[in-house]
Structures are given as structure tokens and as C-alpha cells.
């Protein structure tokens, strides 16, 4: 796909309590820290629910949760872990929620953004020993032009100015650099090993309440989530969870029972027709750690990420099953890019793509999400319908050109 036409989903601004993260919507404004500001975000998903990214409610920008791929950073094999209670240190079994929280909370930060009337906060987490922090793009978007400032706050209240290393709108990820002392990176697990029913723990700053820990299970995998305004969409093949995710969780980690990051919390569900409603309803969405690790490593290395494409333009007016390639140019150039992966595989204008690697494709967004979840250079098999007949084709994904 090449620069697909705008998705039919948008971030719908919404309000919750103080501190809701989001992708630069309009609405009530608050100053940046010290008073804890808020921000909000709201995408939509499918015909049943609207997705609202975790964010900061009163200002207009932040949200989140985070994830990555196992790099080390904590002892998950000990039989007990020291946790802190109001009465002092206590021992908890390794693998318990209390043990996971004791290890992870110090490595999760609150991200404050001051961009005038678009100030707010979200969450982030320590990715490596070089001081890189992972968060959502929609958390820092308001300050990305250089007109605002970004501050990272640790659990002990220590604050430090952060610089933006790189961000990617399409994957809703951003990397910050900050000078942190005595903080260990979180290990990053493999989201490809996650199964429905796995127990998970989310850590972040929902509603401005830092160091908040919630738990639940993985309730679905490969949930196609498309969020954002026209031309600024994020395409996520998301991990769905019933762990409580609220505005302000955006950019924080979703952890497995070993304390490894398996996702970055990025969105929550909101019932359609209720733009004023907000908060957890048991359906949250995280960017899988396999995608996070690929994208974050690229952002750290070059400041930008590459996006795999097949080289077609999709027909957004088509309402049938599958994703139909435009039948004519419609002012956008050739529907099938000459010499691109789809062209070399034999895809023609008007073909309907109904499967990718044996998995059904129901909508154009689902196709985009499935392709974006792959890596440049991956080989995929697609099934298309043409003149009432199905045929399979194999192609190698290429990087989208700027």
C-alpha cells in the first residue's frame, strides 16, 4: 500500500477526570507541570465501538502505555521479591502482581508536555541503559514541532528535561532521551508468544495518578485498530486486554507475568454516540512489543521508522468483504505502483484482497494493519478475488518512500 487514503476512523475528543492522554484534540486547557495537566485522545474502531487512546483529560494531548523486546533488567527467577508496604519491606512470591509491580514501577515514568494551550501528560518507560524512554507519539505530538518542552518525572518525584529522539505517527510510538540516575530498563518480551488468556499487568499514570498498577488478561490478539485524524492515522494490530486502562496510561507498559513488556498501552474503547464518556470499560489496546522493538530501534538509530508496503491504493467506497484495489487512478496515480511488490506479484486494479498469510481480510484497514505489522523484506502470501475466482500470490514487502 502506498500512502493509503484517509481511514474512516478519527480520534474523537473526549473528557474524563483530570489527566487524560490524547492526540492533540481541542478542549479545555491546563498549564503544564507543576500543576498536573491533562490531555485527551480518541480514535474510533469498527462499527461497534470507538477507540479512545489513553491520555490526559484536561489539556489536550498525552496518553499511553509501552512495550518492547526482552533485553534484561530484573530478576524474574527469584523465589521471592521485596516489595514495600506501609509497614516496610515485605516478601512476595516471584511472578505475583506485587513482585511485578515492585520491579516495574521504578522504571515507569510520567511524561509532561508543555506546549502552551496543548499541555498534558502521559506515561513512558525506560527502554535501555542509554536513557531512552518509550512512549506514544500522541503523548508528545504537541511538542514535536519544537515549540514546547517535554519533562520526564520518576516515581520519586525527580524531574528532568527530555529531548525527542524520533517519533512515528503510523505506529503511534515515540522515543525520548533523558538523563536518569539509578533506573533499570524494563525487559522486553516477545508479543508473538502471547496467547489469549495470558495474565498481564499495566503500569502508568491514569488520571494523573502515577505509579498505578492494574491487572487482567489478554482478551484478544491482532485486533485491527485505526486511530487518528485524516493523514495522521495510526495502524495497530493490537493486543486487547481487560486490564484497567484509563486516560493517562498512554505510553506505559503492558507486562507479562515475568515482568517483561509485551505491549505499549495506546487506546481504550468508548461506546459510539457517547463522546463525553471516558474511562475503563474493560477493552483496552496495546501496541505489540515485537512491533515496538523494531520501530524503537529504528527511531534510536535514524530518528525515523520504515513502513512496509505492497504498493496499492485501496477503494474506501467498497463496502463488501475484503479490501478492493482501486479500479482506476481517481487522481491518485496508478492504483498499482509499477514495479512494486503487488505489481510484480500480478495484482491488478479492481482485485479484492481477501486473505494475507491465510488470515481473512474483512476491511481495508485490516489489510493495512496486517501489512504494517510485518517487517520490510518479509514475504507474504495474499489471496485475491478477480472475476469471481480466487487466486494466491506471493510478494516481498518493500519500504514506503518518503
- Domain CATH code at residue 383: 2.30.42.10
What is the spatial distance between Cα 104 and Cα 306, in angstroms, rounded to a whole number? 30
What is the spatial distance between Cα 172 and Cα 221, in angstroms, rounded to a whole number? 18
Cite the DSSP H helix spans in 86-208. 97-104, 137-140
pLDDT score recorded for residue 280: 84
Same domain? For 218 and 71 the reply is yes
For residue 250, indicate whether it is catalytic: yes
- Domain CATH code at residue 299: 2.40.10.120
Q: Is the pLDDT of residue 20 over 80?
A: no
What is the spatial distance between Cα 283 and Cα 152, in angstroms, rounded to a whole number? 28
pLDDT score recorded for residue 94: 83
User: How many residues would you count in the chain?
Assistant: 402
For residue 172, indicate whether it is catalytic: yes
What's the grid cell of residue 150?
Answer: 517535554
Enclosing H/E stretch for 344: helix 341-345
Same domain? For 296 and 334 the reply is no
Same domain? For 152 and 27 the reply is yes
Same domain? For 273 and 333 the reply is no
Catalytic residue, candidates 119, 170, 191, 250:
250
Same domain? For 351 and 210 the reply is no
Nearest to 32 by CA among 63, 60, 66: 60
Give residue 3's pLDDT band: very low, low, confident or very high (50, 70, 90). Answer: very low
Same domain? For 271 and 149 the reply is yes
pLDDT score recorded for residue 12: 26
134 versus 35: which is more confidently predicted?
134
Q: What are the tens digits of pLDDT across the range 347-360? A: 999 999 999 999 99
Q: Is the pLDDT of residue 398 over 90?
A: yes
Same domain? For 375 and 235 the reply is no
Catalytic residue, candidates 114, 128, 168, 172:
172
For residue 138, indicate whether it is catalytic: yes
Same domain? For 316 and 266 the reply is no
pLDDT score recorded for residue 120: 85
pLDDT score recorded for residue 223: 92
Of 305, 324, 344, the last residue of a domain is 305
Total structural domains within the chain? 2
Give residue 93's pLDDT band: very low, low, confident or very high (50, 70, 90). Answer: confident
Q: Is the pLDDT of residue 68 over 70?
A: no
Q: What are the tens digits of pLDDT across the range 119-174? A: 889 999 999 999 999 999 999 999 987 788 999 999 999 999 999 999 999 999 99
pLDDT score recorded for residue 330: 65
Of 305, 327, 351, the last residue of a domain is 305
What is the spatial distance between Cα 330 and Cα 291, in angstroms, rounded to a whole number? 33
Same domain? For 261 and 128 the reply is yes
Same domain? For 207 and 326 the reply is no
Same domain? For 363 and 228 the reply is no
pLDDT score recorded for residue 269: 80
For residue 372, the enclosing domain spans 308-399
Amino acid at each position: 500500500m502506498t500512502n493509503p487514503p484517509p481511514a474512516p476512523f478519527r480520534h474523537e475528543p473526549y473528557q474524563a477526570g483530570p489527566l487524560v492522554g490524547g492526540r492533540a484534540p481541542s478542549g479545555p486547557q491546563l498549564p503544564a507541570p507543576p500543576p498536573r495537566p491533562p490531555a485527551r485522545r480518541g480514535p474510533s474502531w469498527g462499527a461497534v465501538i470507538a477507540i479512545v487512546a489513553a491520555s490526559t483529560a484536561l489539556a489536550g494531548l498525552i496518553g499511553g502505555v509501552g512495550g518492547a523486546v526482552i533485553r534484561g533488567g530484573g530478576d524474574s527467577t527469584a523465589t521471592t521479591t521485596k516489595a514495600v508496604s506501609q509497614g516496610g519491606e515485605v516478601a512476595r512470591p516471584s511472578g505475583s502482581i506485587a513482585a511485578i509491580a515492585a520491579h516495574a514501577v521504578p522504571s515507569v515514568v510520567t511524561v509532561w508536555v508543555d506546549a502552551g494551550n496543548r499541555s498534558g501528560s502521559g506515561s513512558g518507560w525506560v527502554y535501555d541503559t542509554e536513557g531512552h524512554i518509550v512512549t506514544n507519539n500522541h503523548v508528545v505530538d504537541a511538542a514535536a514541532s519544537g515549540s514546547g518542552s517535554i519533562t520526564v518525572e520518576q516515581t520519586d518525584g525527580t524531574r528532568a528535561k527530555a529531548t525527542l529522539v524520533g517519533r512515528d505517527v503510523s505506529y503511534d510510538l515515540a522515543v525520548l532521551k533523558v538523563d536518569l540516575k539509578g533506573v533499570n530498563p524494563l525487559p522486553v518480551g516477545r508479543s508473538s508468544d502471547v496467547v489469549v488468556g495470558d495474565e498481564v499487568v499495566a503500569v502508568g499514570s491514569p488520571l494523573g495518578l502515577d505509579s498505578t498498577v492494574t491487572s487482567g488478561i489478554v482478551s484478544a490478539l491482532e485486533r485491527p485498530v485505526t486511530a487518528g485524524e485524516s493523514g495522521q492515522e495510526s495502524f495497530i494490530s493490537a493486543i486487547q486486554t481487560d486490564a484497567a486502562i484509563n486516560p493517562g496510561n498512554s505510553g506505559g507498559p503492558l507486562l507479562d507475568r515475568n515482568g517483561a513488556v509485551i505491549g505499549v498501552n495506546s487506546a481504550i474503547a468508548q461506546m459510539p454516540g457517547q463522546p463525553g464518556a471516558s474511562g475503563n470499560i474493560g477493552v483496552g489496546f496495546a501496541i505489540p512489543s515485537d512491533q515496538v522493538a523494531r520501530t524503537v530501534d529504528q527511531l534510536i538509530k535514524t530518528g525515523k521508522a520504515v513502513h512496509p508496503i505492497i504498493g496499492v491504493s485501496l477503494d474506501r467506497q467498497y463496502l463488501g468483504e475484503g479490501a478492493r484495489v482501486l479500479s482506476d487512478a481517481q487522481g491518485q496515480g496508478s492504483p498499482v505502483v509499477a514495479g512494486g511488490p503487488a505489481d510484480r506479484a500480478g495484482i491488478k486494479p479492481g482485485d479484492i484482497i481477501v486473505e494475507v498469510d491465510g488470515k481473512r481480510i474483512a476491511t481495508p484497514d485490516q489489510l493495512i494493519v496486517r501489512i504494517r505489522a510485518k517487517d520490510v523484506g518479509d514475504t507474504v502470501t495474499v489471496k485475491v478475488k478477480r472475476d469471481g475466482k480466487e487466486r494466491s500470490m506471493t510478494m516481498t514487502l518493500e519500504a514506503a518512500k518518503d
